[in-house]
Amino acid sequence: MQTSWLPFIPESASTVSGKVDALYFYLSGVTLFFSLLIGGVITFFVIKYRRRLPNEIPRPIAGSHKLEILWSVIPFIIAMSMFAWGAQIYFQNSRPPKNANEVYVVGKQWMWKIQHSTGQREINELHVPIGRKIKLIMTSEDTIHDFFIPAFRIKADVLPGKYTMQWFEATKPGTYHLFCAEYCGMNHSGMIGSIIVMQPTEFDSWLSGNVNQQSPAVAGQQLFQSLGCVSCHGANGEGGRGPTLAGLFGGKVFLNNNQTLTADESYIRESIENPAAKVVNGFNPIMPTFQGQVTPEQLIQIISYIKSLQISNPQSTTPAAPAAKAAPASQTGATPAPNKQ
Amino acid sequence: MKAFETFETPSAARVNYINAEYGLKSWLLTRDHKRIALLYLGSISFFFFIGGLYAMFIRLELLTPQGDLLASTTYNKVFTQHGIIMIFFFLIPSIPATLGNFLVPLMIGAKDLAFPRINLLSWYIYLLGGIITIYALLAGGVDTGWTFYAPYSTTFSNSYVIAAGLGIFVSGFSSILTGLNFIVTIHTMRAPGMTWFRLPLFIWAHYATSLVMILGTPVVAITILLLAFERVAHVGIFDPAAGGDPVLFQHLFWFYSHPAVYIMVLPSMGVVSELIANFSRKNIFGYKFVAFSSLAIAVFGFLVWGHHLFVASQSVYAGMIFSFLSFAVAIPSAIKVFNWTATLYKGSISYDTPMLYALGFIGLFTVGGMTGLFLAALAVDVHVSDTYFIVAHFHYIMVGGALFGYLGGLHYWWPKISGRMYPEGWGRFSALVIFVGFNLTFLPQFVAGYLGMPRRYHAYPPEFQVFNVLSSAGASILGVGFLIPMIYLVWSMRYGKLAEANPWHLPGLEWRTASPPPTENFLATPVVTWEAYEFAPVEEMRVIGKFRDEEV
Ligand code: HEM
Ligand SMILES: [Cu+2]
Ligand SMILES: [Cu+2]
């Protein structure tokens, strides 16, 4: 049974799970104290002031502004402490660390398709090492799902047409539940899986046991050619009739309506599916839509290819995922069963 | 010579609103708010029973980890329909449409509501909505969850989404009309001397509730309409495949549905204020604070909907603002609990059934409110959102709060409504059974939720079974607990002891007319010269009668 040594607390296996539990204990302590206090006072009054004579009429008592202020202000202060603590952890967790390993998650009725940035694919399982930061970039092929790992105390909705993110750093080897936590139809309760946390060395050998894979960036590069993106954006994304894509990700984009934005996953996706929505300053809205021609998974591959195109070192325009080099170039979509350890 | 006429002594033969006219037509075409309240009472009891049956199937299925009793599609329909019926067809109308309808005019000294025909219309609209929903259930059911989230509801569900939505859409108009009627009545039809600050707190609570009904319900109506439109035409409102935004649906839905939880619990708080004051024979401590906290809840309740979207890809900053506001809106509820507690101080407290329900309410509502703080705390909500922790939280609020208030109120005013006393011993016994059964059902769900059990799961990992078995055991006790009052209340309508005009010896206006009251409520227009909850010696609390010319 996946519980920790504390009763009624699930296994704690990530760097945030302890923080969430600490806040949970604080909340439990404070609310239990006040509930028992109120309950005790009420019980005491109900017994002490029970009706003794059928016709007795107690003396009325006027209210007290002092008391009212007291019991508004004190709970407010306590509530604010809860707010601040909860918000602080939430805010920290909302910003994925820069050096995190990326893992792509696609939810569909009723399974989880997962791909590591090194190419390994898994279904309803996610292998991760302890001590490394993992960032999940998630989207859905159909309705809303939710990627929930109780042992890590994290969860986030997985939406169609949008990328959501969450990250974690596992601290304890073991196998933990993965649940879909947003109702998604018939087999919602079957949309479950395992998070397998390993020692880094074990993980690395698991990875190398799965070399026969193509990294998403390489697959993305092939799509970039086969879909004809190259004709406008250049063979290596250096630009042409369309804007330069090398170095685009994470940088600023100036639009022809004088707005500025930061290029993230959602922006790139929108530019592929609905190019006219945001046109880069100095270019004409000539790009055709690719909506319906690329699956959510392929979109992730293209995005990951574009991410790999950084200007700072031009030679990396050919994506350099180590595991991918050995792979024959034609395996988009192949999913050999991952090695289980 | 003049004779003074009152209806003080109990008598089965006397003319009252129940026996004033006979025949089905006299009920179906009535404009008497008291009869309309009974029509509502019958219909919501019916829906409560259906909703309860669904609950039974849920608990039976979850006895074992495998999904072995029902097919998963059936299970999904069962919890969806349980939610829809309990929320839209039982809890939302429960107190306002029955006790509120019956008592708002009586408590302010009016002959009826401001718009009696509209009142009757609201019942027919409710009934129409109910019939459409029942059609949806019989035709094949609906499986979206009571929350109807897009794009599952717009695109993926193969069930009767539009019919179920239409039922809710239609019944929404009945709450709008009821709210409108209450607001106009409370503004314009108070008896001479019944100033705003002499109003019983039940009236304040209904005033606040009516505001929410009028301002919130149109939003859910529009949302359901858009949903149906999207489902039929795929125009791109909520479905991303057509260019829509599914999170927009969640915003619109919760903009109504968070306030709607206050539609359910505010009237109940009003009932509890009455019970606590009257059964301890004390004026309520901090009357104005209790009254205005209802309004504060009604207004600020509109600003916290985003706390249902903390993990739904809402912006981090929006999340923090909604978290802050959710903590803030908890304060008026806390103020109420403290004032109720202070009211008990040096009171003369009786242990009659309604008071047991009121005390139960305070305890359970406190648990519900306190666990609300866990959910408002962002980092903890991320973990427990969409787990059984949520299920437990809102059942503490909606059953422990709203339903306990309703049952307490129903017992308290039963002598006035039916003219008969309910059996006190059975009353106390069943209140206790319900309290024990309720806690056994829902306390374990907090634990299962924190351990990670997601809600709306048909099958679950075996380690959660122990909590589910406890929960199902509690639910069977709870079920028995609800059956007992259903039986003895019906029984008492014929066999109960005749009720006096003022069986509890209280000062409220509703106790100064006969039980059951005559159709026109009071023989003469009451003139109020006393404050709310001003307890005079029993013999001074006269029934309002009138002088008439008569040979004596
Ligand atoms: C005392 C202050 C309260 C606070 C701070 C609070 C907080 C919350 C929060 C943050 C959630 C969303 C959790 C999630 O989905 O992850 C929630 C859910 C809910 N609350 Fe409360 N709550 C409070 C009182 C109430 C009251 C008074 C009611 C009803 C009258 C209520 C009924 C509900 C319902 C129905 C849900 C869940 C609905 C669903 O997801 O299906 N809560 N509460
Ligand atoms: Cu799901
Ligand atoms: Cu809410």
In chain A, the domains with their CATH numbers are 10-44+63-213 (2.60.40.420), 216-332 (1.10.760.10)
pLDDT at A278: 86
> Please, what sign has the CA dihedral across residues B71, B77, B80, B83?
negative
Task: Sort out which chain B residues have CB atoms less than 8 A from A153's CB and list them.
Answer: 379, 382-383
> Please, what sign has the CA dihedral across residues B469, B473, B479, B485?
negative
Q: Is A292 on the interface with B (CB under 8 A)?
A: no
B30 vs A311, more confident = B30
Q: Using 50, 70 and 90 to split pLDDT, how confident is the model at B539? A: low
Q: Rounded to an integer, what distance in angstroms lies between the CA atom of residue A104 and that of residue A138?
A: 6
The 3-class SS string of A205-263 reads: HHHHCCCCCCCHHHHHHHHHHHCCCHHHHCCCCCCCCCCCCCCCCCCEEEECCCCEEEC
CB within 8 Å: B359 and A86: no
Strand B2-5 and strand B546-549: the pairing is antiparallel
Q: Rounded mean pLDDT of B111-134? A: 96
CATH numbers and ranges of domains, chain B = 28-551 (1.20.210.10)
Contact residues for B18 (Cβ-Cβ < 8 A; gap 6+): B35, B419, B516
Task: Sort out which chain A residues have CB atoms less than 8 A from B456's CB and list them.
Answer: 183, 188-189
Instruction: From the CA of B373, give the closest atom in ligand 1.
Output: 5
Q: Rounded to an integer, what distance in angstroms lies between the CA atom of residue B379 and that of residue B146?
A: 26
Task: Calculate the average pLDDT of chain A.
Answer: 84
Q: Using 50, 70 and 90 to split pLDDT, how confident is the model at A314? A: very low
Contact B107, B508 (CB under 8 A): yes
Task: Sort out which chain A residues have CB atoms less than 8 A from B247's CB and list them.
Answer: 159
Integer angstrom CA distances of residue B330 from A76, B255, B261, B301, B326: 9, 17, 13, 10, 6
Task: Sort out which chain A residues have CB atoms less than 8 A from B383's CB and list them.
Answer: 20, 24, 150, 153-155
Phi and psi for A82 in degrees, rounded to 5?
-65, -45
Give CA A38 to chain center in angstroms. Answer: 40
How do residues B15-31 score in pLDDT, each as one tens digit? 889 888 888 999 999 99
The 3-class SS string of A101-162 reads: EEEEEEEECCEEEEEECCCCEEECEEEEECCCEEEEEEEECCCCEEEEEHHHCEEEEECECC
Helix (H) or strand (E) holding A169: strand A164-169
How do residues A85-128 score in pLDDT, each as one tens digit? 999 999 999 888 888 999 999 999 989 999 998 888 889 999 99
What is the largest distance, in Å, between two alpha-carbon atoms of chain B? 84
How do residues B478-487 score in pLDDT, each as one tens digit? 999 999 999 9
Question: Which residue in the set A72, A82, A164 is minimally distant from B327, CB to CB?
Answer: A82
CB within 8 Å: A160 and B246: yes
Which residue in chain A has the smallest CA separation from B374?
Answer: A27
pLDDT greater than 80 at residue B549: no
CB within 8 Å: B342 and A67: yes
Question: Which residue in the set A58, A86, A189 is minimally distant from B346, CB to CB?
Answer: A58
Contact B271, A191 (CB under 8 A): no
B73 min Cα distance to partner chain A (Å): 5
Output the CA B79–ligand 2 centroid distance in Å: 15
pLDDT greater than 80 at residue A320: no
Q: Rounded to an integer, what distance in angstroms lies between the CA atom of residue B278 and that of residue B507?
A: 9
**Residue B161 near ligand 1, beta carbon < 6 Å:** no
Of A85-99, A319-333, B360-374, B532-546, the poorest mean pLDDT is in A319-333
Q: Which amino acid is at A274?
A: N
Integer angstrom CA distances of residue A214 from A90, A112, A138, A211, B158: 35, 19, 19, 8, 38
Strand A252-254 and strand A260-262: the pairing is antiparallel
**Alpha helices per DSSP H over B316-397:** 316-344, 353-376, 378-384, 388-395
Name which of B354, B361, B507 is nearest B422 in CA terms. Answer: B354
Interface test with B, best of A38, A70, A139 (most B CBs within 10 A): A38
pLDDT at B215: 93
Question: Which residue in the set A46, A154, A179 is minimally distant from B382, CB to CB?
Answer: A154
> Please, what sign has the CA dihedral across residues B473, B475, B481, B484?
negative
- Residue B426, preceding peptide bond in cis (omega within 30° of 0): no
Q: Using 50, 70 and 90 to split pLDDT, how confident is the model at A336? A: very low
Helix (H, G, I), strand (E, B) or coil at B522: coil
Q: Buried (b) or exposed (e) across B498-530, using 16+ Cβ within 10 A?
A: ebbbbbbbbbbbbbbbbbbbbbebbbeebebee
Hey, whose CA ends up nearest to atom 1 of ligand 1?
A: B369
Helix (H) or strand (E) holding B492: helix B465-495
pLDDT greater than 90 at residue A308: no
* The token pair that represents A156 in the structure block: 């986030």
Q: Is A183 on the interface with B (CB under 8 A)?
A: yes
B241 min Cα distance to partner chain A (Å): 7
CB within 8 Å: B452 and A179: yes
Q: Rounded mean pLDDT of A144-173? A: 94
* The token pair that represents B324 in the structure block: 């802050």
Give strand pairing partners of A160: A140
* The token pair that represents A290 in the structure block: 């690719």
A30 min Cα distance to partner chain B (Å): 9
**DSSP string covering B40-85, please?**
HHHHHHHHHHHHHHHHHHHHHHTTSSS--SS-HHHHHHHHHHHHHI
pLDDT > 70 fraction of chain A, expressed in percent and rounded: 88
Name which of A304, A317, A315 is nearest A237 in CA terms. Answer: A317
Contact B139, B163 (CB under 8 A): yes
Q: Rounded mean pLDDT of B46-69? A: 94
Strand A121-123 and strand A111-116: the pairing is antiparallel
* The token pair that represents A273 in the structure block: 């599916």
How do residues B304-363 score in pLDDT, each as one tens digit? 999 999 999 889 999 999 999 999 999 999 999 999 999 999 999 999 999 999 999 999
Contact B99, B267 (CB under 8 A): yes
Q: Could you give the dihedral angle defined by the CA atoms of residues B361, B363, B369 and B370, in that order, rounded to the nearest 10 degrees? A: -170
pLDDT greater than 80 at residue B10: no
Strand A145-149 and strand A154-158: the pairing is antiparallel
Helix (H, G, I), strand (E, B) or coil at B503: coil
Q: Rounded mean pLDDT of A278-291? A: 84
pLDDT at A5: 61
Question: Which residue in the set B351, B370, B386 is minimally distant from A35, CB to CB?
Answer: B370
Task: Sort out which chain A residues have CB atoms less than 8 A from B323's CB and list them.
Answer: 83, 86-87, 90
Q: Rounded to an integer, what distance in angstroms lies between the CA atom of residue A13 and that of residue B71?
A: 35
Q: Rounded to an integer, what distance in angstroms lies between the CA atom of residue A222 and that of residue B301?
A: 53
CB within 8 Å: B383 and A155: yes
Task: Sort out which chain B residues have CB atoms less than 8 A from A39's CB and list them.
Answer: 363, 366
Task: Calculate the average pLDDT of chain B.
Answer: 92
Contact B80, B143 (CB under 8 A): yes
Name which of B393, B391, B386, B387 is nearest B371 in CA terms. Answer: B393
Ligand 1 pocket test, pick from B307, B361, B391, B442 with the greatest ligand atom count within 8 Å of Cβ, gives B307
Give strand pairing partners of A10: A3
**Residue B91 near ligand 1, beta carbon < 6 Å:** no
**Residue B370 near ligand 1, beta carbon < 6 Å:** no
CB within 8 Å: A155 and B386: yes
Task: Sort out which chain B residues have CB atoms less than 8 A from A177's CB and list them.
Answer: 452, 461
Q: Could you give the dihedral angle defined by the CA atoms of residues B108, B114, B118 and B119, in that order, rounded to the nearest 10 degrees? A: 10
- Around ion ligand 2, residues with a beta carbon closer than 5 Å are A 145, 180, 184, 188, 191
Q: Using 50, 70 and 90 to split pLDDT, how confident is the model at B168? A: very high
pLDDT at A238: 83
Which residue in chain A has the smallest CA separation from B320?
Answer: A87
Q: Is A58 on the interface with B (CB under 8 A)?
A: yes
Q: Using 50, 70 and 90 to split pLDDT, how confident is the model at A211? A: low
Q: Is A172 on the interface with B (CB under 8 A)?
A: no
Question: Which position has the token pair 């666990």?
Answer: B371
Q: Is A252 on the interface with B (CB under 8 A)?
A: no
